[in-house]
Structure 1
Amino acid sequence: MSFGGIGRRVLHSLIAFVGLIVAVFFLSRLTGNPAGLYLPINASQELRDQFADQHGLNDPLWQQFGDFVGGLVRLDFGTSLLDGRPAMTVVWEAVPWTLGLAAATMLIAVAAAVPLGAAAARRPGSRLDRVVSNLTLVTASVPDFWLALVAIMVFAVNLGWLPVAGTGGLAYWVLPVLVLVARPLGVLVQVSREALVNELSSTYVRAARTKGTSEARIVNVHAMRNAVAPVVTVAGDQAAAILNGAVVIETIFGWPGIGRLMIDSILRRDFSVILAGVVTTAAFIFVMNILIEFVYTWANPRLRHEDKAAR
């Protein structure tokens, strides 16, 4: 397996990871002193100074950043200002909810997108192809927040079929997943269709048809095997986008994931939880990027052949 692309992705991800951590640390400090949010309005200046000293907010900014980096190495981001628990404990309670939402969304998106893309690619320009292409173009373009509001109005308010927000049984998952799946489904159908159309017009497919190979085998075995690499890459990017951008959906649906936690922490200036949440999310995306490159290299026959030739 060739590791050139993997090494480049690791390097780029590390640079982005470091830049993100530095930016979030200093930007979070620009929101001001959180003492006013956690102390009574009539709290004395002495009490405010004591609060700031207790949480290291009176230290020079460079010293606060140094303490943060030292804590980062130990995975110790300090204590949540809101409830006094370790920040990582608070974040890890929210992580499974976001990961579960992302996993359910991508499982449905991939399972539906590949067959739809294959069906459209088998007859380019047909009525089915036009319908699938137009519908998925719309779903890939619709803003998540607008779709969430429409889904709530239709399925929760007017029809009363589903709960508006919160957590519980399977019914509470339907609307968040339905809204989140729209964009990756549309994008993956477009990508799988385009990749299969290109493969079905290639020389080896024409040769297989000349030999009498069935169309189903040509599409499902030969062409799909070569078209899967771009689909895998885009699916990984979409999964990372969900992890990174589920803030709006989690807030609208009252989902106790890391996105909603981050919004609450920003509003309350809970610096430790903000930084722990950003680092955790960035770490997941970093690992996902590496896995995407591994899977892409493994799934792409051309890269495997180039690697063998290089040896």
Structure 2
Amino acid sequence: MFSYISRRTFQSLLAVVGLLVLVFFLARLTGDPAYLYLPLDSTEAQRTAFNELNGFDRPLVVQFGAYLADVVRLDFGTALSRNRPAMEVALEAFPQTLKLAAIAMSLALAAAVVIGALTAARPGTAFDRTATTFSLACASAPDFWVAITAILVFSVSLGMLPTSGTGSLLHWIMPIGVLMLRPFGLLTQVVRGQMLGVLSAAYVKTARASGIGGRRVLFVHGLRNALLPVVTVAGDLTAGLVNGAVVIETIFGWPGIGKTMIDAIMKRDFALIQSTVLVTAVAIFLLNILIDLIYAALDPRIRHEAT
């Protein structure tokens, strides 16, 4: 298992380095930061002095070499838009994204397990058809469209919920509700499909024939053996939530790392762009390692193959 984790760690580190290289050069295609941070009537000499002060006048290869040398020393530069260490800004924003993604995935997973198992226990019924249709709609609906529609209905028309911020519990309802819809829809279909196969297995039929209650058969004997694919999909979706919360955070003004990244791009804050991407990439890498460990703990065969 240790060798497997080491191999995955090495592969992930290579991917992170490749991503940093790509982001470093792509960020500088957005334009000259001097035009944003200096007055409109600034002179060419002032812009040149600004670029020299921040090292933007040097060739890109030289800038990248200096950046890598600074990263080795754990110096990720200063966020020009906030005049603070860029990594400090990114690390302050990330917990908000993590909390949003964790709550949304926990609620989506809990609801999907219950509804998916119940639909598998009653295939072909009205409940099964309704739940399946609803889950497919949730999995297919674009996040941005659902978010905008939710604002129009619950904020503009009904005045029930605030449109942005994190000040109270009401501020969390729409971002979490929108973010959990797609994982809920996909996980419900996965749980239902796995449970249909498990419930038709011989050992489940034997358990029922021996007089074990239907609920225990469903949630103990059946669900436990259907968990492995569900864990895999849930892990991938969680990584997607952390990486893809940019749209939700931007629409709802959520002060997470996604919105911080978009603000940095709009302000050509290169150091902050690189820091937010690095934090997100490392978080997804650690999450994938955790998923592998959980997967191996649930299935001893995988643990044996990994050693």
TM range (shorter): over 0.9
Partner of residue 51, structure 2: 52
Q: C-alpha displacement at 1:125, in angstroms? A: 2.0
Q: Alpha-carbon deviations, 1:12-71, whole Å to 9, x = none?
A: 433332221111111011112100000112212222111111111112211111122122
Sort the Cα spacing of 1:8 and 1:126 in 2 relative to 1 into closer, same or farther, 3 A.
farther
Partner of residue 36, structure 1: 35
Q: How does 1:85-164 map to 2 (within 5 A)?
A: 85-164=84-163
Sort the Cα spacing of 1:123 and 1:4 in 2 relative to 1 into closer, same or farther, 3 A.
farther
Q: C-alpha displacement at 1:153, in angstroms? A: 0.9
Q: Which amino acid aligns with 2:61?
A: W
Mapped partners of 2:208, 2:7: distance in 1? 39
Q: Comparing 27-36 with 268-277, which one deviates more in the overlay? A: 27-36
Q: If the length of structure 2 is used for normalisation, what is the TM-score? A: 0.94
Q: Alpha-carbon deviations, 1:91-129, whole Å to 9, x = none?
A: 122112111111110111112111011101112222211
Partner of residue 292, structure 1: 291
Q: Could you tell me the percent identity over the aligned residues?
A: 52
Q: C-alpha displacement at 1:223, in angstroms? A: 1.6
Q: What secondary structure is seen at the aligned counterpart in 2 of 1:30?
A: helix
Mapped partners of 1:252, 1:87: distance in 2? 23
Q: C-alpha displacement at 1:8, in angstroms? A: 5.7
Q: What secondary structure is seen at the aligned counterpart in 1 of 2:40?
A: coil
Q: Comparing 6-15 with 63-72, which one deviates more in the overlay? A: 6-15
Partner of residue 248, structure 1: 247
Mapped partners of 1:191, 1:300: distance in 2? 18
RMSD (Å) for aligned C-alpha atoms: 1.9
Mapped partners of 1:5, 1:219: distance in 2? 34
Q: What secondary structure is seen at the aligned counterpart in 1 of 2:162?
A: coil
Q: Does structure 2 retain, via aligned residues, the 8 Å contact 1:155–1:162?
A: yes
Q: If the length of structure 1 is used for normalisation, what is the TM-score? A: 0.93
Q: How does 1:57-68 map to 2 (within 5 A)?
A: 57-68=56-67
Partner of residue 281, structure 1: 280
Q: Comparing 216-225 with 29-38, which one deviates more in the overlay? A: 216-225
Q: C-alpha displacement at 1:10, in angstroms? A: 3.5
Partner of residue 71, structure 2: 72
Q: C-alpha displacement at 1:6, in angstroms? A: 4.5
Mapped partners of 2:8, 2:209: distance in 1? 41
Mapped partners of 1:45, 1:229: distance in 2? 61
Q: Which amino acid aligns with 1:144?
A: D
Q: C-alpha displacement at 1:209, in angstroms? A: 2.4
Note the residue ranges of structure 1 that are not aligned, 5 or more in a row. none
Mapped partners of 2:229, 2:18: distance in 1? 28
Q: What secondary structure is seen at the aligned counterpart in 2 of 1:154?
A: helix
Matched, 1:215 2:209: no
Mapped partners of 2:2, 2:123: distance in 1? 36
Note the residue ranges of structure 2 that are not aligned, 5 or more in a row. none
Partner of residue 268, structure 1: 267
